[in-house]
Amino acid sequence: MRFTSLGSGSEGNALVVEVSEGASTTRVLLDCGFSVRELQRRLLRVGLEFADLDALIVTHEHTDHVGSSLVLAKKANLPVFMSWGTALASGADDGRVDLRILWGGEALALGDIEVHPYTVPHDAREPLQFVFSDGDRRLGVLTDTGCATPHITAVLGGCDALILECNHDRQMLAASRYPASLKARIAGDLGHLANDAAAALLGQIERSHLKHLIAAHLSQQNNTAVLAQAALAAVAGCVPDEIGVATQAEGFGWRVL
């Protein structure tokens, strides 16, 4: 099992998860917050093409996640998986694409990949986040949630790799030029995790199998990689450089479980 981010942040998100079993390989794309042309460029950077993808999964309808998902699904003839709320909000329910509905708590198999959707508090119609597994190892993804819940900590416990939102530093956000309404939205219980909130969540998760920890969805205006790494490292008990960072421009390269 391996995974790579094609970019993470408010300007676009996409993650590839791949599982190989014998001669077969299954690859899914989680979110497509870029144009089709930009996604193609980013895929080529990690050695992939549209034809290498088997399915597209969308977490929610915000532009930096849904992006060109419907165009890509039609162009590449990919089934697209999302919640019914996300389908209604994004227009995916109009028959243009091969739409498959996901429900939080109901796992499904996509080739050799086990997909476990789970619900999160975020200001979208029916957002989902995901844990991916090959049957032995688990990759947890949490990029858009306003707060931690007991359900989230339970679902992410025991993961071998975790991509965890560290959206903003509270002081940087408070001092920013953002309108008060936007600051309140970001910092609210349906917004995005601050560094300290992500660290607190990490502290509640069972981490005995955790080998890869990556900070994601960092605000380019209201956070820095150094601050995010320091917050997570303090809980993980490691040096900050051991915490990976998913950047907007580059994401991160292939990681293997």
Tokens 């497509």 appear where? 32
**pLDDT, one tens digit for every residue, the chain (257 residues):** 999 999 999 999 999 999 999 889 999 999 999 999 999 999 999 999 999 999 999 999 999 999 999 999 999 999 999 999 999 999 999 999 999 999 999 999 999 999 999 999 999 999 999 999 999 999 999 999 999 999 999 999 999 999 999 999 999 999 999 999 999 999 999 999 999 999 999 999 999 999 999 999 999 999 999 999 999 999 999 999 999 999 999 999 999 99
What is the pTM assigned to this prediction? 0.97
Alpha-carbon distance of 184 to 186, in angstroms, equals 6
Query: Which strands form 98-102's sheet, in the order they lie side by side?
Result: 98-102, 79-83, 55-57, 24-30, 14-21, 2-7, 252-256
Q: What is the pLDDT of residue 70?
A: 97
Beta bridge partners of 65: none
pLDDT digits (tens, 9 = 90+) for 87-121: 999 999 999 999 999 999 999 999 999 999 999 99
Judge contact between 50 and 76, C-beta under 8 A. Answer: yes
Alpha-carbon distance of 165 to 198, in angstroms, equals 7
Q: What is the pLDDT of residue 154?
A: 97
Q: What is the pLDDT of residue 171?
A: 98
Q: What is the pLDDT of residue 116?
A: 98
Q: Calculate the CA 134 to chain-centre distance.
A: 18
Q: What is the pLDDT of residue 87?
A: 98
- 126, HSE (Cβ side, Cα atoms, 13 Å): 15
Give the CATH H-level superfamily of domain 2-250.
Ribonuclease Z/Hydroxyacylglutathione hydrolase-like (3.60.15.10)
Tokens 């995010």 appear where? 228
Alpha-carbon distance of 83 to 104, in angstroms, equals 8
Q: What is the pLDDT of residue 49?
A: 97
Q: What is the pLDDT of residue 129?
A: 98
